[in-house]
Amino acid sequence: MPSAEAARAHEIWRQTAATLSSKTALWEMRAGFERLWDQFVPPSDVTYTPVNAGGVRAEWVTPAGARQEQAILYLHGGGYVFGSIHREMVARIAMTTGLRALLLDYRLAPEYPCPAALDDALAAYRWLIGEGHARRGLVVAGDSAGGGLTVATLVAARCYGLPPAAAGVCLSPWTDLAMTGATLTSKADEDPIVSRPLLEQLATWYLGGADPRAPFASPLYADLTGLPPLLIQVGTAETLLDDARRLAERARAAGVQVTLREWEGMPHVWHFFGSFLPEARAAMEDMAAFLKQRLG
């Protein structure tokens, strides 16, 4: 059963959804999300260092005592068109896992449609390899659109013959921009933030005319053979529940080691609410345990 605090997380998402109507102007959507992020103050015992990661703006988020030889490449969500670099949430992830995280400020649509985000993610991946992380432990992680971008980046890295990451972590991933998942309809009344009309608008901006089933845009349709172990976390109150389930199914069919965790009653990317939500903290602990097995 969800905790008592879960109702607060759902309410915050409902209030945010009011700024994310498919009829809302893009600048208003972005402003609404920025107001949301302003509610969450990043931990003070974490250092934040701007860096140029292969030509892409990024920021190192480093908790005290972090293992310098290992890193998470973190790809934020926001439908590929808005959202900050998620400082507060990723700082908590870094603190819980004991790993420093590189938060990537990849280019956003519609100003920069796909594959700009993937190009930037791959550039940062190459940069991290150059810094030696492929030999010591590189993890690619992301939430929502960033979860889909995580898989696309791992696929692209394999296609280019780059050293593989140690693991991938997908939090409430959006993997199917063709939006064929049954839970887009069956969970519509439960999900407080992600609706089909909203996703349709975001996909239009991001795709820029590209095929919604193109593997670089919708990794659900990609060849997933040879990917590193994946941890997929998703809430049962999400319209994107089927995106996560089908990703797990297709990855397993391709021989990938997959850990799928479904969290009862949790909304989209409930990890944002780690300052008060027990399930968010538990999900991060689950992530830490998964990565400890892969990184040692």
Q: Model confidence over 5-42: pLDDT tens digits?
A: 999 999 999 988 887 766 678 888 888 777 777 777 88
Average the pLDDT over each of 30-39, 101-110, 148-157 and give the range with the smallest value. 30-39
Per-residue pLDDT of 73-94, as tens digits, reads 999 999 999 877 688 999 999 9
Instruction: Please tell me the predicted confidence (pLDDT) of residue 194.
Output: 97
Per-residue pLDDT at 296 exceeds 70:
yes
Domain assignments of the chain as residue spans, ordered by start:
6-295
In angstroms, the CA 202 to CA 77 distance is: 12
pTM for this entry = 0.96
> How far, in Å, are 118, 218, 266 from residue 233 at the CA level?
22, 18, 10
* CATH class of the structural domain 6-295: alpha beta
Beta carbons within 10 angstroms of residue 68's beta carbon: 10
Per-residue pLDDT at 185 exceeds 90:
yes
In angstroms, the CA 153 to CA 119 distance is: 9
What integer best gives the mean pLDDT of the chain?
94
Q: Could you tell me what percent of the chain has a pLDDT over 90?
A: 84
Helix axes 278-295, 87-97, angle to 10 degrees: 50
Mean predicted confidence (pLDDT) in 46-65: 97
In angstroms, the CA 228 to CA 244 distance is: 16
Answer for the pair 257, 154: CB distance below 8 angstroms, yes or no.
no
Instruction: Please tell me the predicted confidence (pLDDT) of residue 32.
Output: 76
Strands 56-63 and 99-104: antiparallel
Alpha carbon of residue 121 to chain centroid:
12
Task: Name the residues annotated as catalytic.
Answer: 144, 238, 268
Beta carbons within 10 angstroms of residue 45's beta carbon: 9
Instruction: Using alpha carbons, select from 173, 136, 160, 178 the residue that is nearest to residue 248.
Output: 173
Per-residue pLDDT of 187-230, as tens digits, reads 999 999 999 999 999 999 999 999 999 999 999 999 999 999 99
Instruction: Please tell me the predicted confidence (pLDDT) of residue 25.
Output: 83
In angstroms, the CA 75 to CA 150 distance is: 7
Q: Could you tell me what percent of the chain has a pLDDT over 70?
A: 98
Answer for the pair 215, 285: CB distance below 8 angstroms, yes or no.
no
State the residue for tokens 């703006």: 57
In angstroms, the CA 90 to CA 96 distance is: 10
